[in-house]
Amino acid sequence: MRCLWKTLFIVGGLFLLAACDNSERANQAIEPMAKAQSEDELLSQIKAAGVLKVITRNAPTTYFIGRDVMPRGPEFDMADSFASYLGVELEVIEKNSIQAVISALKNKEGHIAAAGLTQTQSRAAEFMFGPSYQDITQQVVCRRDNVQPESIEELIGLDIMVAAGTAYSERLKTLQMQYPNLSWVESASLTTEQILYKVWQREIDCSIADSNIVDLNRRYFPELIAPFNLARSENLAWMLNTSSRALAEAVNEWFLDYQETGRLDSTLDQYYGFFEVFDYVDTRTFIRRVDERFPEFRQYFSDAAKKYNLPFHLLAAQAYQESHWLADAVSPTGVRGIMMLTQKTAKEVGVSNRLDPKQSIFGGARYLSKIRTHRFVDEVEEPDRTWLALAAYNVGRAHLHDAQTLARQLNLNPHKWADMKQVLPLLSDKRYYKDLRYGYARGTEPVRYVQRIREYHHIIENELE
């Protein structure tokens, strides 16, 4: 895919989000597309030019540049899939706010706005929406040791800020008709993520954010709380100009297949699948231990990860889930050490002393690499291969094999973690395990195991920036 990205900034001091730009387009303003064009003409022009222009913003819930200097994000992944469906390349047009995204779409600087946009009545009066791809809820966000309002009445008098041009400001304006004394400030220069950082810094009392944004940011700022919802569940969808009906029909056709083949579930699981349960105490403790315990073992994790071609932070996160980074950890079942190896596994990977942290880390890395590399067919792609390997590390490859067999019987995909995490808990249900080769297993444990490792992985990447 061609490189068509632009250089960005650090969001709230948290996410180093960079991008690049095609050399022939550098330092050139994006020319607005022709104002008047028929429905069929626009789609034909996109195909003739070989480029789909999608307007978005740089944020972890939309589009960002990953550590591998490759574009990532749920909106990007979906837009890239749609561009492939049309047989064209994707060009991302970045704007620094929702307000700027909507203005750019109105000015026809791009073909589609894909930026975590809520379907609201005012927007629907001016634009068309594609299919809904995610349900979210607007939540009041405060800091737990500051203020904890439990109703709209208790918001009155608080210092509240939201990003300008968002669905949050629309909702507040609607509420203000019933609560005239409700007041807030709208920022045209700060993103929702940056405003949440100000809440965490106690610079303001509260803000409003979508539930998916709240879930992600609480991993970095555990003190943030969402005391109540400001609205009922709402839908996120792409926005198009009303003159783009043929393009909208193409979006609908693509999305139907994207959803039915499970790719939508896989995309959402990749970015949000580990945010189901939030544990404030555990998260706060983990962040503290990144400073207190991790440095002692950091070099071991780094060297082992390189040797066995594993993500460094993922290996460290797995070790924390296993032992909380305690080299002398011992469980009642006999597993021990920082990677909590059984005697059988330790012997298999050449570990003579499970309580030696270097041996344990290298042994655990070797074992995980072996599962990840050799125990799955080629059809299992990343990141599913890694999540399934971690599950097998926890529950055993035999029980995971049973779960994959059961997945096929239930017409689910044994190669997709989004499906397998639904199947694994059934291994403790007699109706299912009685007919499986290896019988009963506590199938909820590997699901939770993988989820927590993904949580820790996400946090440690941020803490070690």
Residues with catalytic roles: 322
DSSP string across 382-441: TTHHHHHHHHHHHH-HHHHHHHHHHHHHTT--TT-HHHHHHHGGGGG-HHHHTTSTT---
Residue whose pair of structure tokens reads 């009303």 in the numeric block? 242
Task: Tell me the two tokens of residue 16.
Answer: 């180093």
Please say whether the beta carbons of 449 and 462 come within 8 A.
no
| Rounded Cα gap, residues 78 and 381, in angstroms | 17
Tell the burial category of 2 from Cβ atoms under 10 Å away from its Cβ (0-12, 13-18, 19+). exposed
Task: Tell me the two tokens of residue 67.
Answer: 């550590």
Q: What percent of the residues of the chain are helix, what percent strand, and what percent coil, each to the nearest 5?
A: 45, 15, 40
Distance of CA 387 to the CA centre of its chain: 15
Task: Tell me the two tokens of residue 431.
Answer: 């109706």
Please say whether the beta carbons of 205 and 195 come within 8 A.
no
Residue 235 forms beta bridges with which residues?
Answer: 135
Q: Quick one: three-class SS letters along 271-309?
A: HHCCCCCCCHHHHHHHHHHHHHCHHHHHHHHHHHHHHCC
Tell the burial category of 64 from Cβ atoms under 10 Å away from its Cβ (0-12, 13-18, 19+). buried
Closest CA to 340 of 348, 352, 357, 350: 357
| Rounded Cα gap, residues 306 and 365, in angstroms | 10
Tell the burial category of 73 from Cβ atoms under 10 Å away from its Cβ (0-12, 13-18, 19+). buried
| Rounded Cα gap, residues 391 and 321, in angstroms | 12
Task: Report, in angstroms and rounded to the nearest whole number, the Rg of the chain calculated over CA atoms.
Answer: 24
* Position 308, amino acid: Y
N-terminal to C-terminal alpha carbon distance within the chain: 28
Please say whether the beta carbons of 147 and 204 come within 8 A.
no
